[in-house]
Structures are given as structure tokens and as C-alpha cells.
Amino acid sequence: MTAIKSVRGRRVWDSRGNPTVEIEISLEDGTRGRAIAPAGASRGTREAVDLRDGGMRLRGRDVTGALEGIAEHIAPALIGLDAENQKAVDERLLMLDPSPTKETIGGNATVAASLAVLNTTAASQRVPLWRYVADLYGCVPTVPLPEIQIFGGGAHAGRRVDIQDFMIMVPGASSFEEVMEITSEVYFAAGDIMASRGKLAGVADEGGWWPVFSSNEEALETLVQAIEKAGEKPGERVVISLDIAASEFGSNGRYRLALEDRELDSGQLIDLLGTWLDAYPIVSIEDPVAEDDRDGMIAFTRRFGDRVQVIGDDYLVTNADLVEAAVRDSACNAVLVKVNQAGTVSESVSAFQAARGAGWGAIVSARSGETEDVSISHLSTGLGCGQLKVGSFTRTERMAKWNECLRIQEELGADSFAGAKALDRTWWGRNKDKSK
């Protein structure tokens, strides 16, 4: 037993310059540790909410109410608890706010508290966080295969294009280092192509190039060209992954593609995505339809689920009950795990375990508002989930997570890299031997 001695909240700032919550824990044995809450921009309606002050100050985004809740409710509830009992800590947090979206105490406060306890306990045991997580949940630690954004769109780029994330994955790499090298080549090749066309206009929220394109397809074409310019054959070592984030441009079965000024119903959107799957080497699609489009998600998964990874983000909001319902529906075949969508580590792990139990894939993910906190690199490795989504290949709040994976791989060895195994369920996985 290592009792929690103090819990202290403080206001820090995220990658978009918004206030966010950090919690620092100290234990009776003298160990100190901390964690910071990230923040989403394309949020699911059923995810844990960030408690923000509202009003005019700091555009309503300040977190003084959340910090008061930490001092008045969270600290007294956690002090004296055994930090090694993560489940009990998280249950205590849930008791403070039983509302489904944690709107009373704030998901930003609970996630910082929950992750801070996890971090501090690992430090107290003098083991890296990934090892502590692997031991706690009985998983085989695995260095993840990343999804890395090359162009940012949707809510992360003033809706300049409809689709939110145009990413690459490098399942043909033999190590995490090699993924970094190849991604760097592709990222700058994409920038060079845009510059040569007079279309370089900075970067989006997660550091991917700002998408000065006249159609979503132009973004896909440019991505393929960038992969080629980097000396790779698209679909061999390097493949494409998309986060459609369809809830951002559709609801009630209607989807408005602003860039092309046209409206699609759910079936037409699915058909359109199908043409992209035929034309481009895409292995993974996240939120292909909106969070309220159950029939659409079932239809999409039925048509394409044996070819591509179908990830539920806003659709599942890291919630075990929603994962179980989707498993029953045969909607999606992979879950995105964002700890702040659930609000605690234990709930996130339950969602992960529900997905794993059904044979699904799982991807630990950052948010578009991030910080120097690198807990998710360890969580992904420790849970052995095989994949990690962090955003782009620039900006330190992103690179810190990739760099942490490099350190972890150094310790675990290149054999622990998930690589191709992460995409075994996709066309790429089935054809990988042919591509060598």
C-alpha cells in the first residue's frame, strides 16, 4: 500500500494556447508525479466534458471551476487511498460525479487525476509507465505502429477541407525509428509539392500541412504523390489512413461536403468513400459516418470491414457499453482509445478490453489540443494495443510522444515493434508478404 498524501491542481496551457488542468500527486513514500488533461475540438456528444468557466474571460475557456472542484472534492476523496489500486481510485472519482459525461466535476479534472495517480505509482515502483501498465492489466508490451497526419482538415483547419485527418502508416517498416525516417521524408515531400504549386499556407492544429486543396480527392492525390516523391511505392511499405470525422459535417443521415457544395445521404457518402478505397491505398477509416448514424456504420462495416480497419471515435467515445453494442451490431472493427473521452484510466481500459475481447483493433489516441504529457505513448505500449495516433510530424506536443516511443523501443528492442501485425485484419495485412 502506498497512500496518496496530496493532490494539487494547477492551470497550465495547451498547444492551442487554451488553459487546461494539471494535477500533481504526492505519495506517503515521497514520490511525486503529474498528468495534464488534453482537449478535443471535434468532440463526440457522448464523451466526458471539460469543465470550463464560460463567460468572456479567456474566451470562456478558463478552468478555475475545475480547479476548485479538485481542491474541494477530488483531493479530499483521494487522499489516503492506496495509489496502487487504480480501480478504487477511479471508482472514487466516479462516485464524485456519477453523471454520464462527468459534467459536475469535469472530465478534464478526472482524467488529470486518474492519469496522475497512474504516473506517480509507476514512479514510486521505479518502473517505466509502460511496464507498470502492462503488469497492471496483464498485457504484452508492444511498441505501437503510428498513424501520422500529413494534412490536417475539418475542425482542425477552419474546415478548409471536409475530411479531418489525411495520415500515413508505415506497416512495412521494421522498427519505430524507420517509421520516423520514412514519415519525415513523406511529410516534407508533401510540403515541397504544395510549395511548388504555390499552395503552402502553414500548418493545421495538429501540425499537418494546411490543406489548400479544391477537393478532398486532391488531398488524397497529393498524399499519394508525396509518398512517391519520398521514394516509396504507395501501398507497399507506406499506406494511407483517414479520419473522416463525419459528425463534424453531418447528422440525421445528411452530410454536407462544403468544399464541393453538395449534400449526400448516408448511402451516398458510403459510396463515395468506397470509390476512395478502390482508388487509393487506404487501410484504415475512422468515423466514416456520423456518431448518430448507426445504420450507416453497420452498412459501411458490412461492405468494407474485411478490407479496412473501421475505427469508431466519436461513435464509441472510449465507452465499453458503446463498444459492446457496436460489437453486437457489427458496426466498426476497431476502437479509438482517448482517456479523456472516458474520463478515467479504468474506464478507458474497459473500453479497450471490450474491443480486444471481440477481436477488434485498438488505437490509443491524442487530442487536437495537447501538451508535453507523454502518458499515451506508455499507455499504447503497455496495453500492447499495437497502434498510436498523435497527430502530425511537427510541433513538440506531437513529437514528444513519438520521441518517447523511440526511447521505449530502445529499452524493449525492435522485436517489440507492432509493425505489420497491427494491420493483419486489412488488405495490407493479407498481402504484406507479396509486397516485400
User: Footprint of ligand PGA on this chain (CB under 6 A)?
Assistant: 40-43, 164, 243, 245, 313, 365, 367-368
Q: Which is nearer to ligand PGA, 31 or 348 (CB)?
A: 348
Q: Which of 47, 206, 248, 347 is catalytic?
A: 206
Segment interacting with Zn ion, rule: CB under 5 A, options 154-162, 238-246, 247-255, 375-383:
238-246
Are residues 95 and 78 in contact, defined by beta-carbon separation less than 8 angstroms? no
Torsion sign (Cα): 266, 272, 274, 276: negative
Q: Which option in Zn ion, ligand PGA, none does residue 47 bind, with CB closer than 5 to 8 A by kind?
A: none
The helix or strand, by DSSP H or E, that contains position 131, with its residue range, turns out to be: helix 129-137
Tell me, by CB under 5 A, how many residues bind Zn ion: 4
Q: If phi over 0 gives left and psi between -120 and 50 gives alpha, with beta otherwise, what is residue 126?
A: left
Half-sphere exposure of residue 408: CA atoms within 13 angstroms, side-chain side: 30
- Of 116, 73, 144, 120, whose CA–CA distance to 381 is shortest? 144
Q: How far is the CB of 21 from ligand PGA (least distance, A)?
A: 16
Q: How far is the CB of 286 from Zn ion (least distance, A)?
A: 5
- Residue 164 corresponds to which amino acid? Q
Half-sphere exposure of residue 404: CA atoms within 13 angstroms, side-chain side: 23
Q: Which is nearer to ligand PGA, 31 or 375 (CB)?
A: 375
Q: Are strands 250-251 and 254-257 parallel, antiparallel or unpaired?
A: antiparallel
Q: How far is the CB of 175 from ligand PGA (least distance, A)?
A: 25
Place of cell 494491420: 423
Q: Which is nearer to ligand PGA, 40 or 172 (CB)?
A: 40
Q: Which is nearer to ligand PGA, 122 or 317 (CB)?
A: 317
Q: How far is CA 427 from CA 16, 85, 331, 420, 424, in A?
A: 37, 41, 19, 11, 8
Q: Which option in Zn ion, ligand PGA, none does residue 43 bind, with CB closer than 5 to 8 A by kind?
A: ligand PGA
- Residue 312 corresponds to which amino acid? G
Q: Which of 102, 147, 248, 338 is catalytic?
A: 338
Segment interacting with Zn ion, rule: CB under 5 A, options 47-55, 96-104, 308-316, 338-346:
308-316
Are residues 215 and 178 in contact, defined by beta-carbon separation less than 8 angstroms? no
C-alpha cell at 377: 505513448
Are residues 361 and 386 in contact, defined by beta-carbon separation less than 8 angstroms? yes
C-alpha cell at 238: 507506406
206 given a catalytic annotation: yes
102 given a catalytic annotation: no
Q: How far is the CB of 230 from ligand PGA (least distance, A)?
A: 24
Whole-angstrom Cα distance, residue 277 to residue 279? Answer: 6
239-268 mask for Zn ion (x: CB under 5 A)?
----x-x-----------------------
Q: Which option in ligand PGA, Zn ion, none does residue 365 bind, with CB closer than 5 to 8 A by kind?
A: ligand PGA
Q: Does 313 bind Zn ion (CB under 5 A)?
A: yes
Torsion sign (Cα): 50, 56, 59, 64: negative
Q: Which is nearer to Zn ion, 33 or 153 (CB)?
A: 153
Q: How far is the CB of 44 from ligand PGA (least distance, A)?
A: 8
Q: How far is the CB of 64 from Zn ion (least distance, A)?
A: 29
Q: Does 50 bind Zn ion (CB under 5 A)?
A: no
Q: Does 22 bind Zn ion (CB under 5 A)?
A: no
Q: Which is nearer to Zn ion, 141 or 152 (CB)?
A: 152
Active site residues: 206, 338
**Footprint on this chain of Zn ion (rule: CB under 5 A):** 243, 245, 286, 313
